[in-house]
């Protein structure tokens, strides 16, 4: 792969910024670097010579991105804004633009009901070939996605060594942005994963770095093939699937977050105090990223209404009677 050479008036600062992000994040920062290439070309093509970010430059660059889709435009400008924050550390006069509003998603996450999850797991257990590892693999995959909320890519990247049954832990070594984390498992989930591992050990390579989930060719599962299988299971269970609208495999992660929140409401937990723990568990740096997953459902709204009603009766109404 050829190495891009930045050539604008801000080239040294851009390269220093990229190197700093690589060191702090532990990643190659490749996608973000790609977003800075057009900005570098923009500075050169517009003859900008002053090595300082100004409002005029930022506004002009935003206009230059108008041909892109809203999400692409926001993603690209977001990296430039991070560059502006970096420049302002050594140059207080350097301009930092406002964040662009994130464009609304065209997909509304589908929150599965518990009975639908059970139906999908039952359908997975009937997958062909008969007496093969495949139904156990797909069922285990769906189960781990639902009980832990990990991403499909994280699940497919698991190795045998990442499952520590005696400690009821799962190690996510290849999380988003290269971040690793430990996942604590319930007793029932640990038992189900141990049962699958016993079956899987006789079907393929058993070295610690071998794939934990195997496909029919005894190789690591691929997320794209999982999507196809998931669609077939949805059809078998009568769960409507419409491209771009209906349930996606990623919606199981949304379902996990909503059902976890619902359980906390029912158990009388302080939900706001619990959200940081949920964010860490799901691999999020900010709680705002977790809130995207907390879609309102009839059950969840019912619990929120019940808690408000109980609070009103126990505190507000009681005080009113005393006075």
Supply the Cα-derived Rg of the chain in whole angstroms: 24
Instruction: Count Cβ neighbours within 10 Å for each residue of 190-204 and write b for 16 or more, e otherwise.
Output: bebbeebeeebeeeb
Please say if the pLDDT value at position 13 is more than 60.
yes
Please say if the pLDDT value at position 106 is more than 60.
no
Residue with tokens 């699958």: 196
Task: Confirm if 169 and 221 have CB atoms less than 8 A apart.
Answer: no
| Tokens matching residue 50 | 């002053």
Residue with tokens 């971040």: 179
Mean pLDDT for all residues in the chain? 86
Assessment of whether the complete model's pTM goes beyond 0.95 = no
Residues near 211 by beta carbon (within 8 Å), at least 6 away in sequence:
158, 159, 160, 204, 219, 220, 221
User: Tens digit of pLDDT for each residue in 35-82?
Assistant: 899 999 999 999 999 889 999 999 999 888 888 878 788 888 999 999
Give me the pLDDT at residue 87, please.
Answer: 94
| Tokens matching residue 164 | 């520590």
The 3-state DSSP composition of the chain as helix, strand, coil percent (nearest 5) reads 60, 5, 40
Q: Who has greater pLDDT, 208 or 21?
A: 208
CATH, range 114-250: 1.10.443.10
Task: Confirm if 160 and 206 have CB atoms less than 8 A apart.
Answer: yes
Q: Could you give the angle at the alpha carbon of 116 between the alpha carbons of 113 and 120, nearest 5°?
A: 140
User: What order do you get walking across the sheet with 181-184 strand by strand?
Assistant: 163-164, 169-172, 181-184
Task: Confirm if 170 and 163 have CB atoms less than 8 A apart.
Answer: yes
Give me the pLDDT at residue 67, please.
Answer: 80
- Distance (Å, rounded) from C-alpha 314 to C-alpha 309? 9
pLDDT band per the 50, 70, 90 thresholds, residue 181: very high
The domain segmentation of the chain, as residue ranges, is: 11-90, 114-250, 254-322
User: Three-state SS for 251?
Assistant: helix
What is the DSSP secondary structure assignment for residue 312, as one 8-state letter? I
Residues near 25 by beta carbon (within 8 Å), at least 6 away in sequence:
177, 178
Contacts 24+ apart (CB under 8 A), 152-155: 152/223, 152/226, 152/249, 152/250, 153/223, 154/283, 155/213, 155/221
Of the chain, the percentage scoring pLDDT greater than 70 comes to 87
User: Tens digit of pLDDT for each residue in 214-266?
Assistant: 998 899 998 888 988 998 999 999 997 665 566 889 999 999 999 999 999 88
Of the candidate ranges 3-12, 103-112, 219-228, 277-286, the one whose mean pLDDT is the lowest: 103-112
């Amino acid at each position: 792969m050829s190495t891009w050479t930045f050539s604008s008036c801000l080239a040294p600062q851009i390269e220093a910024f990229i190197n700093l992000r690589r060191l702090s994040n532990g990643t190659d920062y490749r996608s973000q670097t790609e977003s800075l290439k057009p900005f570098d070309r923009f500075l050169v093509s517009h003859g900008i010579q002053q090595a300082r970010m100004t409002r005029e430059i930022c506004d002009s660059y935003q206009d230059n991105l108008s041909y892109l889709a809203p999400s692409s435009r926001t993603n690209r400008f977001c990296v430039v804004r991070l560059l502006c924050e970096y420049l302002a550390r050594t140059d207080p006069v350097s301009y930092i633009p406002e964040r662009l509003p994130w464009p609304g998603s065209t997909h509304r996450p589908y929150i599965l009901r518990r009975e639908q999850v059970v139906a999908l797991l039952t359908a997975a257990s009937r997958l062909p070939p008969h007496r093969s590892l495949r139904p156990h693999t797909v069922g285990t995959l769906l189960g781990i996605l639902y009980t832990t909320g990990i991403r499909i890519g994280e699940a497919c990247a698991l190795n045998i060594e990442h499952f520590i049954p005696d400690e009821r832990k799962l190690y996510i070594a290849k999380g988003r942005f290269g971040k690793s984390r430990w996942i604590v498992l319930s007793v029932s989930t640990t038992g189900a994963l141990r049962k699958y591992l016993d079956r899987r050990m006789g079907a393929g390579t058993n070295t610690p770095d071998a794939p934990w989930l195997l496909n029919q060719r005894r190789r690591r599962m691929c997320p794209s093939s999982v999507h196809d299988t998931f669609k077939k299971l949805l059809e078998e269970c009568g769960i409507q699937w419409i491209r771009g609208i209906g349930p996606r495999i990623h919606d199981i992660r949304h379902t996990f977050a909503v059902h976890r929140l619902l359980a906390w409401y029912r158990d009388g937990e302080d939900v706001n105090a619990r959200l940081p723990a949920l964010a860490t568990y799901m691999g999020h740096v900010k709680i705002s990223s977790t809130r995207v997953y907390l879609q309102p459902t009839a059950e969840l709204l019912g619990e929120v209404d019940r808690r408000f009603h109980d609070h009103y009766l126990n505190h507000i109404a009681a005080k009113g009677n005393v006075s």
